A and B are shown apart, each in its own frame.
Chain A
C-alpha cells in the first residue's frame, strides 16, 4: 500500500465519520465540526489523488484546495453568525427536524 493510498483510505474514513457526526449531532456547533472534517477529508483526497502522476501534488489542485480552505472558513463563519443570531432570537441551538417550529 503506497503512502497516497493510506491518505485516500484515511480521508474516506474521516468523510464517513463526518457524515455520521452530521446526522447524529443535535447541537449545530457539532454539525459544523463534522461538516468541516468532511471538507478536510475531501481536500486531502483531492491533493493525494492529484499527486499520483508526477510524484508531487498538482499546483492547480493545491490552489483549488487553498481556495477551498478559505471558503470553508468563510462558510463556517457565516453559519456561526446565523447560529448566534438564532440562539439570540429563539434561545435554541438545534435545528427542528422537519423545518416545523416544534418549540
Chain B
C-alpha cells in the first residue's frame, strides 16, 4: 500500500468515526438543540474528512473539485436545515425540555 493510499484510507476512517460520534449524539442527547449540535458539527467534519480522503485516493483534480463542491453543498444544506429546525423548536417552546418521543430531532 502506497503512502497516499494509507493517508486516504486513514482520512476516510477518521471521517467515519466522526459520523459515528454524531449519530451517537443524535440518539443519546436529551433535547433538540444539543442533538442538532452533535449532528451538524460532527457530521460536517466527518464529511470533510471522507471527501478529503477520497480525493487523496483518487488523486485527480477534477474529482477533488467535485468532492469539494459536494462538501460545500452538504454544509449549506446542514446549516439551513439545522437553523430551520432549531427555529421551529424554539417557537414551539421545546428549548431546554427533553425531546418527547416522536419529536423531530
Q: Do any beta carbons of A and B sit within 8 angstroms of each other in the complex?
A: no
